[in-house]
Structure 1
Amino acid sequence: MTPAVIASVETMLEKWKGQEGKEIEVFHEFRLLTSEVISRTAFGSSYLEGEKVFAMLNKLSIIMSRNLYNTRIPLINKLWKPADMLESEELAKEIQYYVMKMVKKREDKVVNGEADSFGNDFLGLLINA
């Protein structure tokens, strides 16, 4: 996965070259770099392609951390669900939809002969298995 990491760093450095003499917010840039590396190594795509999934995952983690210490009564949750639970369920469905869309796209490419494998990133290895 080293080539994917190198490609991400090179993309970041090219972006920085256009900003010579200007201040760069390093925290933001490295957060983007981390997301880019995860996206390329896990899904074989750039961060910009998976930006919506990352935004949904971020929102889901905020909801989960907000409700980490809430006490739940099992029977009441079946009758009445809090807004956070409904929103987290909807986010989980959307995330699953986007990941399955990526899987289907790769399967279609292999079936149509456009690609000879599912890819060498994490998602491709999982699909192959």
Structure 2
Amino acid sequence: MVQDGGNGYLRTETSEVDGVVVLRLAGELDMVSERVPEDEVRARIADRPPAVVLDLREVTFFGSNGISLVLGALQEARRHAVGFALVADSRPVLRPLEVTDVLAVVRVFGTVDDAVASLLDVPVRSA
């Protein structure tokens, strides 16, 4: 299932891989767009799937609101005993996470398949 929550700056899509909810964000994650993904992440975690993956590979701007989103999602996932990981591979996303030490507390992967496999503790599927 795919849902599009586009607002002009940021597009969100929700899908599922092996029972794990994958929320893909594309565009600018700033003060204008931050509430939409936060509400979506909280709602998906509240459904208590085995895990949630936040895919940030298509995010082009990631500032303090993005960091807040990630930390809030991690806290919510822990509260509901839901696995949580990020997928990110670009400097605009990874650098802010690195300088704020968020990378020390959140698992980050290069692909959705790697994140899902780690969260479910299964071998990575070959493409």
Which TM-score tier does this pair reach, normalised by the shorter chain? under 0.3
Q: Larger radius of gyration, structure 1 or 2?
A: 1
More strand by share: 2
Q: Which has the higher helix share?
A: 1
Q: Give the structure, 1 or 2, with the largest relative contact order (CA under 8 Å, sep 6 or more).
A: 1
